[in-house]
Each structure stands twice: as C-alpha cells, then as structure tokens.
Amino acid sequence: MNRSDLESKLATEIATTLKQDIEQRGRATLLVSGGSTPVNLFKLLSETELDWTKVTVSLVDERFVPNGHPDQNGGLVKKHLLTNKAAKATFIPLVIDAANAEQNLQCVRDAFSSEPFPVSAVILGMGTDGHTASLFPDAAELEQGMNINGEEKLIITNPQSAPHQRITFTRPAIMDANRLFLHCYGQEKQLILKKAEEKRDYHTYPIAAFLGNTSKKLEVFWAE
C-alpha cells in the first residue's frame, strides 16, 4: 500500500471512530502527533464530513516553547488540521502558560478536566530512537510516563537527546484510548518496529510498551 492509500484508509478509520463516539457519548476527542508525517493525513481529515463542533482535538505531546515558535507542533495542527470543515473543532493546546512548565502542566490538566476519558482515538508517531509521544529512552521521567498503573495523564519530560522540555500524555492515558494508531513511514522505521517487537524493552525502544498488548491493540499504519 502506498502512502496516499494508507492515509486515506487511516483517515476513514479515524473519522468512523469519532462518529461512533459522537453518537454514543455526544462528544469525541482526538489526540494527534506532530512532525511532517501526518501533514497529508491532517489535510484529509480537515475535509471529512463530521460534526466537528462535537470534537476536541489536541496533541499527544508538545515541546514546551512559546506559541509561534517553529518547533511547536500546535501551529502545524492549526494550519493543516483545524481548517476547512474541521475548523469548527475545539482545540486544547498543550502549551497554555509558556512562562512556567509546572504551571502550564496544571493549566493543561485543568483544561482536560471536563473532557471525557478515555479519548476516542490517539495517533502516535515514532522517532528513529524508538521514542513515541515524548517518552524518550534517555529521559529521567521515562518510568513515570510508562507506569501503567500511574494516575497522571500528563507529565513533563526532559529528553537528553532532543531539544526542549516536553509535556506528554502518559502510557496509561494513551493505552486507554478507544482506538490506538501508529502512523510511520520508511524502511528505517520498519526495522525499529521489528527490533522493538523482538526486544520488548521500552527502556531501549519506548514504542515497545505499546506493542503486543492484549488489552489494547496498537494498529500500525506503515508504508514505504
């Protein structure tokens, strides 16, 4: 399957999930990842016929940088997803108070306090080091973020191998989603996935924590 066909299929799956939650719960929530990979997917979703007034969109994780900063993924979501038909969706940014990370964390937690959990769908990405969300193998907060019995949905992380402090949803919050997708491209990512499945050690490849679970299937959407 080529990238275009894969994106069309994934967009359909996401839209179907959101529609089902709107019908069953009255609202739906979608958490997306940043970077260049999902840009075309965002454009497809933005044109999808859906009651977007009943959809909340946010990010799985975000770099703790001010609004307008080129490294902030929120701008990418606003530009490519929250437009056309999807412009009517509610957006919860993960950076609300750019002056203080701890205060920002509380602001975001407060913003999500009225949102229904579990969320409808999560779209994960994956880095070449096997990290997903902002759960990095070299972050001191990895264990906190991966604790499947942890009560926090959102935490701060400080990766050593990547720029910027981060805010991220935790493994239990992500795993609790009604549908969990991984969207990635290229042979390098395919090889990382294979290694993560074999090793099954999230300290080496954090994505391994989401693979092969009996409680929640990670639906992998990969193309060359």
On the question of pLDDT at 37 being above 70, the answer is: yes
Helix, strand, coil percent content, the chain, rounded in steps of 5:
40, 20, 40
Total domains in the fold of the chain: 1
* pLDDT digits 0-9 by tens, 18-29: 999 999 999 999
User: pLDDT tier at 116 (50, 70, 90 boundaries)?
Assistant: confident
- At residue 214 the predicted structure's pLDDT band, cuts being 50, 70 and 90, is low
Give the model's pLDDT for residue 102.
98
Reported confidence tier of residue 200, pLDDT bands at 50, 70, 90: very high
Q: Domain residues for 12?
A: 3-223
Q: What is the mean pLDDT of residues 23-47?
A: 97
Residue 204 sits in a domain whose CATH number is 3.40.50.1360
What does the alpha-carbon distance between residue 174 and residue 186 come to, in Å, rounded to a whole number?
24
pLDDT in tens, 145-185: 999 999 999 999 999 999 999 999 999 999 999 999 999 99
Q: Which residues are CB-neighbours of 110 under 8 A, at least 6 positions away?
A: none
- Is 70 exceeded by the pLDDT of residue 186? yes
* Mean pLDDT of all residues in 116-138: 96
User: How many angstroms separate the CA atoms of 52 and 183, rounded?
Assistant: 22
Backbone angle region of 95, left / alpha / beta, with phi > 0 → left and psi within -120 to 50 → alpha: beta
pTM over 0.85? The answer is: yes
